[in-house]
Every structure is written in structure tokens, then in C-alpha cells.
């Protein structure tokens, strides 16, 4: 399209605003000056920009996942399961974005990464507090992780609160109990700062839900939304592990973790174990 054609098309749009001296612009609303000035390379290497942007974008998606999951938890507490379904569906769709981000990062070769890896010092994605908040709201609690954030009392307090609060699966189990299913009192009254371990009464309840879908339609939908979230989270973990293996092999991570070894271990963890176990028994 020629410049003249573009100019003519623009002139035909009579209602387009062009005077923003005293009005808010798109850039103002999104605070783009701040956002786009936040990619500060510590080296002169071309590919460090990719590394920074991928991680910053992923943090933004994690923020949305936390926002939607916490809202879903509150909706389930109020027995507003329909609202929670929309929020959890949005979580699953958001997870596809951070899964695909690994495909972009994997264009970074080992030789390219080594050109600026030493500039990271001990900074590592292992220290992402938003990733830990995602784990906490999904019910995976690890106390030693809190030590990483002691230097920031405000942030530590946010994580501490989430650490002791019921996670998404806890409120789903409570919903089962409110709907007449016989859930072990020790599960309902458990210490939420401990990672959930599977329970026979919970498995029995979910099995009943799946065997009598029409009588338990909303709980069945809730269960499937939880499976969607966990399935996507495991895909994200797997792509993370394979991308790290592709770029640094089995080197120790910059944050001191075993790198690929650590990432392989967490692949074996399930947030909602009974929902996977019952698939064999239905």
C-alpha cells in the first residue's frame, strides 16, 4: 500500500482523535514508558534482549494466573462455581501462552547464552516469587522457599499469607463436603501450610461425582477445570525442563539448584492427585 493510499484512508476516518495534549493516550494507560524502559541488558550481547523479554512477559502472564486463580478460590468458597469456571478457563488459556514462550526462548543456543550467563550472578527463575505464589495457590507448599524473600519484608508477608491460606484444591474439597459428600474431618481441618497428600475420602467423593455426572454436574465441571489447569501446568514444567536441558545441559542453575535434575523431580508432583487416580477406576 502506498503512503498516499494510507494517508487518504486515514483522512476518511473523521472520528480519529489526534489531539492528546490534555488527554490520556494508549501509552499513558499502559505506562509504556516504564514498561519498555525495563529491558536493561547487562552485556552487549544481542540475545540478552530475548532472554529478558521472555522472562518479563512470563511474569506478566503469571500475574494474571494468580489474579484469576485467587478470584476462583473466592468464588468457590461462595458456591459460585459458574463464575469460577470462567476464571479457571482463562487460567488454562493463559498457560498456553507461557508454554509457547519456551519455543521462543529455545531459539537461544548454548553458545549464545554463555556469552552473557555470567552477568546474571545468582539471579535465577528459581527465585520468581510469582511462580511460588502460583504453586501456593494451587496447594504446593515448600517452607524453605520463603527464606529467599526475607530481604523484602512486604513481599515475604504476601508469600507467608498465601503459604498458610487454603489453596484451590482445598476449597474444591470443601465444596464437596458442602454438597453432602463424606470428607474426612482431618482433611477439612488440616494445616494448609502443608502440601496436600491424597486421601481416600476425597477419592471416593470424586469417584461418585464422575459416576453420577448428571446429579453432580457443577462439581464434575469443577473437577475437569482443575484437571485442565494441572495438565497445562505440567506441560509448562516439561517445556521448562527441556528448554533448560537444551540450552545449558546439566549445569548447576545460576540460583544454585541442580537445574535439569530439580526440574525433572517436580514433574512427578500432582496438585490434585485423586482427580488423576480415579481415571483408572471409573
pLDDT tens-digit map of 102-123:
999 999 999 999 999 999 988 8
* CATH number for the domain that contains residue 94: 1.20.58.480
Tell me the pLDDT tens digit for each residue of 16-40.
Answer: 776 667 789 999 999 999 999 999 9
Q: Is position 213 within any domain?
A: yes
- Of the listed ranges 135-149, 183-197, 257-271, the one predicted with least confidence: 257-271
Residue 282's nearest CA partner among 220, 196, 227, 206 is 206
Domain that holds residue 175: 42-280
Q: Is position 190 within any domain?
A: yes
Give the annotated binding-site residues.
Answer: 51-55, 113, 117, 240, 254
Give the annotated binding-site residues for substrate.
Answer: 51-55, 113, 117, 254
Whether residue 180 has pLDDT greater than 90: yes
User: ∠ CA 166-172-177 to the nearest 5 degrees?
Assistant: 105
Q: What is the pTM of this model?
A: 0.90
Contact 72/88 with Cβ under 8 angstroms?
Answer: yes
| Range list of H helices, the chain | 3-12, 26-30, 32-36, 48-77, 81-105, 110-114, 129-138, 153-164, 168-178, 185-188, 200-211, 217-248, 260-266, 273-281
Q: Is position 202 within any domain?
A: yes
Q: Which residue has the higher pLDDT, 247 or 183?
A: 183
Gap between the Cα atoms of 199 and 223, Å rounded: 16
- For residue 172, count CB atoms less than 10 angstroms from its CB and return exposed for 0-12, middle for 13-18, buried for 19 or more: buried
Q: How many CA atoms are closer than 13 Å to the CA of 11, on its beta-carbon side?
A: 6
Give the annotated binding-site residues for heme.
Answer: 240
Contact 250/227 with Cβ under 8 angstroms?
Answer: no
Q: Is position 37 within any domain?
A: no
Q: Structurally, how many domains does the chain consist of?
A: 1
DSSP 8-state assignment for residue 257: S
Whether residue 58 has pLDDT greater than 60: yes
Q: Is position 9 within any domain?
A: no
Amino acid at each position: 500500500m502506498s503512503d498516499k493510499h494510507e494517508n487518504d484512508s486515514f483522512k476518511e476516518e473523521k472520528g480519529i482523535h489526534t489531539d492528546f495534549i490534555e488527554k490520556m493516550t494508549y501509552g499513558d494507560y499502559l505506562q509504556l514508558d516504564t514498561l519498555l524502559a525495563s529491558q536493561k541488558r547487562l552485556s552487549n550481547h544481542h540475545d540478552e534482549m530475548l532472554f529478558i523479554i521472555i522472562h518479563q512477559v512470563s511474569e506478566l502472564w503469571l500475574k494474571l494466573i494468580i489474579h484469576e486463580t485467587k478470584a476462583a478460590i473466592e468464588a468457590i468458597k461462595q458456591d459460585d462455581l459458574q463464575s469460577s469456571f470462567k476464571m479457571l478457563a482463562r487460567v488454562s488459556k493463559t498457560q498456553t501462552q507461557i508454554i509457547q514462550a519456551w519455543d521462543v526462548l529455545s531459539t537461544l543456543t548454548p553458545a549464545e547464552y554463555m556469552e552473557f550467563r555470567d552477568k546474571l550472578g545468582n539471579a535465577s527463575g528459581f527465585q520468581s516469587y510469582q511462580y511460588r505464589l502460583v504453586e501456593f495457590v494451587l496447594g504446593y507448599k515448600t517452607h524453605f522457599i520463603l527464606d529467599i524473600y526475607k530481604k523484602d519484608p512486604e513481599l515475604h508477608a504476601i508469600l507467608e499469607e498465601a503459604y498458610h491460606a487454603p489453596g484451590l484444591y482445598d476449597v474444591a474439597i470443601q465444596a464437596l463436603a458442602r454438597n453432602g459428600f463424606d470428607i474426612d474431618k482431618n482433611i477439612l481441618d488440616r494445616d494448609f501450610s502443608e502440601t496436600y497428600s491424597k486421601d481416600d475420602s476425597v477419592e471416593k467423593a470424586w469417584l461418585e461425582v464422575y459416576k453420577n455426572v448428571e446429579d453432580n454436574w457443577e462439581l464434575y465441571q469443577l473437577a475437569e477445570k482443575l484437571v485442565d489447569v494441572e495438565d497445562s501446568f505440567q506441560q509448562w514444567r516439561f517445556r521448562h525442563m527441556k528448554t533448560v536441558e537444551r540450552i545449558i545441559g546439566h549445569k548447576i542453575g545460576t540460583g544454585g539448584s541442580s537445574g535439569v535434575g530439580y526440574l525433572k523431580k517436580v514433574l512427578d508432583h500432582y496438585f490434585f492427585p485423586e482427580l488423576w487416580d480415579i481415571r483408572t477406576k471409573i
